[in-house]
Amino acid sequence: MPGRGNQELGLSDAIQMQHIVKRFGDKVAVGGLDLVLPSGALYGFIGPNGAGKTTTIRMIMSIIFPDEGHLSVLGKKSATESKDRIGYLPEERGVYKKMKVAGFLKHMAKLKGLHAGASLTQKVNDWLERVELGEVAAKKCEELSKGMQQKVQYIASVIHEPELLILDEPFSGLDPVNQRLMRELFREQHDRGTTMIFSTHVMQQAEQLCDHIVMLNKGEKVLDASLDEIRAQHDPRTIAVELPTGSADADRLQHISGVKHAASVDSQFELSLHDDSQPQDVIREVVAA
């Protein structure tokens, strides 16, 4: 299913990648990747571990560089030229353990161009309250749990209000309550116009957040489409059911609400569904028939 990777590039695109290749010795980690992210988009990078997601993100961030191809980030040749406009939560978590939480966040904010003073102090305090860590400002980072440290690191990635935010496996290590809080925070960033990349190996997490999915496997792009396009192509309009012998026939099944046509195929029945029917509802009625 083609995405914008093969389309004409636009000046307003946040990221442009053309035939990006990255090798580590004899291993091709990313092979000939074409990808375009429009400004303001929320893209999910999904795929199994080792698929090339983190390698692609590290190239976008100019942590490593491609062996072949063209890459631009926020209109510049590399992220190093746009670093103050980018927020990044890496897969490898890390804070300055001996620093106090508020001091660490102020330090990270100043590295991104924010000025020290009362307004920055207030901003840090407001963010800590927002992530339910208002009481830890004076604690050392090493005194926090891993989940708390992760939320502190997230603040560091967004406190400068970036134009591009990249989140690599951001739910790793979080309990369900904090996962829900973080989803709310991610949506807030997107609602204010931030272009976002969310990397995960869990499709359900990507579905809950993203508008567009890019699936990588063994360094190759195998899917690049909006969620609506994916659902339209893969939403089952035909389902197969296997029932005990003599419990139903095609004529009887065809009269179930939502079923357009029923046919006996080998030991199963194939049911074609109306466009507005829900497969789970049809299955429920079949079982009850």
**CA–CA separation, 100 vs 102, rounded Å?**
6
Torsion of CA 14, 18, 22, 27, to 10 degrees: 130
CA 237, distance to chain mean position in Å, is 27
Residue pair 230/236 in contact by the 8 Å Cβ criterion: no
User: Which of the given ranges, 131-145, 220-234, 257-271, has the highest pLDDT on average?
Assistant: 131-145
**CA–CA separation, 220 vs 105, rounded Å?**
37
Q: Among the listed ranges 86-90, 231-235, 273-277, which one has the minimum average pLDDT value?
A: 231-235
**CA–CA separation, 203 vs 44, rounded Å?**
9
Instruction: Output the pLDDT for position 105.
Output: 97
Give the length of the chain.
289
The CA–CA distances, whole Å, from 58 to 116, 188, 272 equal 29, 24, 45
Q: pTM, whole model, 2 decimals?
A: 0.77
CA 170, distance to chain mean position in Å, is 9
pLDDT tens by residue, 229-250: 887 776 667 777 777 666 667 7
pLDDT above 70 for 8: no
**CA–CA separation, 164 vs 196, rounded Å?**
6
**Closest listed residue to residue 226, CA positions, set 198, 204, 207:** 207
**CA–CA separation, 206 vs 49, rounded Å?**
15
Average pLDDT over residues 219-223: 92
Task: Give the side-chain half-sphere CA count within 13 A for 274.
Answer: 11
pLDDT tens by residue, 9-50: 455 799 999 999 999 999 999 999 999 999 999 999 999 888
Residue pair 122/199 in contact by the 8 Å Cβ criterion: no
Q: State the DSSP code for 85.
A: G
**CA–CA separation, 109 vs 123, rounded Å?**
10
pLDDT above 70 for 6: no
pLDDT tens by residue, 50-62: 899 999 999 999 9
pLDDT above 60 for 267: yes
CA 151, distance to chain mean position in Å, is 17
Question: What angle, rounded to 10 degrees, do the helices at 118-130 and 146-158 form?
Answer: 130
The CA–CA distances, whole Å, from 152 to 54, 87, 106, 172 equal 21, 13, 11, 14
